[in-house]
């Protein structure tokens, strides 16, 4: 009863305010109008843009909804698999299959409870013709072993490469950090699989005895942003550090990204994790944030709607909360701009709409989708 009263009290609190819905915001390279595109979402986590301009949006408590082109939010879709909703767990990312227009296949990542504990699960399903339900729901990959304690650091971001193969990030699960370094363990990794969840024959550890064939890279802590650079073809990833040491990485096959052997951060208590920030045989990040921004979803921008934002990488930031825009030149970061950091709104994911507007999912009980559109 007390828990329910507290939940109702939270729902009654006012949302962190936009200064004025529809206000004009001037940034370094663009002037945009900031509006609330959709409301009524509880802890939205991931989104996928449908071919007709609607959105599929996950809610961490275990629901999947369709958001219309006018911002209208559907009822929860039927057939969504059961997930483990605790701490950072729940229904997390969603992605469309590369041939969605003919197959209507989608992919979900979630925290899932199995015998032995919780793990990161990848599920394939078909979106019904009227977009009201999931059909043929099939788990295709579990990031084993399951973990009995702790409900954090699932990773769970999905993307597809230009060749149609699926990449999935998994977190270290925050109990035994060295899971990230063990190649027979799927925690703390970047995985590359086909649409059945099977490891690829040319993965870097496919033929190594004692290693899992799904592993593409390792040594990751809590990776929540994943996107291919459309100009270079490289895979970019954002990763939460502990207290300090958030990272932006370019993912290379077989590379070790060091956690927890190397890190730019310390424990939340202030104690040392490692004396090393870099080491031979371990990949360095291309950018580090201390103090942290808690980087979540990312999206590259290459649309004519905002010429000044072309070749930018947008990062949804949870803490300090806001939207980070990085300017890029090939696989280099050349500058950084922070947008909306004065709004106190935790941002979980970002994507680019068909008309070039930037859409941002807010990490709130009364979750929203914010829209940044040209101010004309």
Q: How far is CA 209 from CA 184, 188, 204, 213, in A?
A: 9, 19, 12, 9
Q: How far is CA 234 from CA 201, 296, 324, 336, in A?
A: 20, 18, 20, 20
Residue among 83, 85, 89, 52 at smallest CA distance from 67: 52
Residue 246 · residue 292 · CB < 8 Å: yes
* Residue 158, phi then psi, degrees to nearest 5: -115, 140
Taken in order 316, 319, 321, 322, the sign of the CA dihedral is: negative
Tell me whether residue 153 is one of the annotated catalytic residues.
yes
Let me know the angle formed at the C-alpha of 70 by 64 and 74, rounded to the nearest 5 degrees. 25
Residue 195 · residue 160 · CB < 8 Å: no
214 burial level (CB within 10 Å; 0-12, 13-18, 19+): buried
* Count of C-beta atoms within a 10 Å radius of residue 195: 17
**Residue 375: CB partners within 8 Å, gap ≥ 6?**
24, 25, 31, 32, 33
Residue among 14, 20, 13 at smallest CA distance from 35: 20
Catalytic residue among 153, 220, 240, 264: 153
The two three-digit tokens of residue 355, written as one number? 């008309």
Residue 110 · residue 81 · CB < 8 Å: yes
Residue 332 · residue 250 · CB < 8 Å: no
The two three-digit tokens of residue 276, written as one number? 């090393």
* Count of C-beta atoms within a 10 Å radius of residue 46: 27
Q: How far is CA 283 from CA 102, 258, 286, 345, in A?
A: 39, 7, 9, 32
Residues forming beta bridges with residue 359, ordered by sequence position: 351, 371
List, by residue number, the catalytic residues: 153
């Amino acid at each position: 009863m007390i828990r329910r009263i507290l939940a109702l009290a939270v729902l009654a609190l006012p949302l962190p305010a936009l200064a004025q819905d529809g206000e004009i915001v001037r940034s370094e390279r663009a002037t945009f109008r900031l509006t609330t595109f959709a409301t009524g979402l509880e802890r939205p986590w991931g989104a996928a843009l449908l071919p007709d301009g609607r959105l599929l949006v996950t809610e961490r408590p275990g629901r999947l909804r369709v958001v219309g082109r006018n911002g209208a939010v559907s009822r929860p879709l039927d057939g969504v698999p059961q997930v483990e909703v605790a701490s950072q767990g729940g229904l997390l990312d969603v992605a469309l299959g590369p041939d969605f227009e003919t197959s209507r296949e989608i992919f979900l990542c979630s925290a899932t409870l199995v015998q032995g504990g919780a793990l990161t699960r990848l599920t394939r399903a078909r979106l019904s013709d009227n977009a009201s339900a999931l059909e043929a729901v099939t788990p295709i990959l579990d990031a084993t072993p399951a973990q009995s304690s702790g409900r954090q650091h699932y990773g769970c971001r999905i993307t597809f490469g230009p060749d149609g193969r699926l990449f999935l990030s998994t977190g270290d699960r925050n109990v035994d950090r060295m899971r990230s370094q063990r190649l027979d363990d799927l925690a703390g990794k970047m995985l590359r699989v086909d649409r059945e969840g099977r490891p690829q024959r040319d993965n870097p550890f496919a033929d190594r005895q004692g290693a899992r064939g799904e592993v593409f890279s390792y040594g990751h802590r809590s990776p929540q942003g994943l996107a291919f650079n459309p100009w270079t073809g490289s895979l970019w990833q954002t990763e939460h550090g502990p207290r300090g040491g958030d990272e932006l990485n370019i993912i290379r096959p077989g590379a070790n990204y060091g956690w927890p052997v190397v890190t730019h951060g310390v424990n939340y208590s202030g104690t040392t994790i490692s004396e090393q920030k870099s080491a031979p045989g371990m990949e360095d990040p291309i950018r580090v944030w201390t103090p942290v921004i808690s980087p979540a979803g990312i999206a590259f921008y290459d649309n004519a709607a905002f010429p000044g934002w072309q070749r930018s990488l947008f990062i949804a930031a949870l803490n300090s909360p806001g939207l980070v825009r990085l300017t890029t030149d090939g696989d280099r970061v050349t500058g950084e701009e922070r947008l909306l950091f004065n709004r106190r709104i935790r941002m979980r994911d970002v994507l680019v709409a068909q008309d070039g507007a930037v859409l941002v999912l807010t990490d709130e009980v009364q979750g929203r989708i914010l829209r940044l559109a040209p101010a004309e």
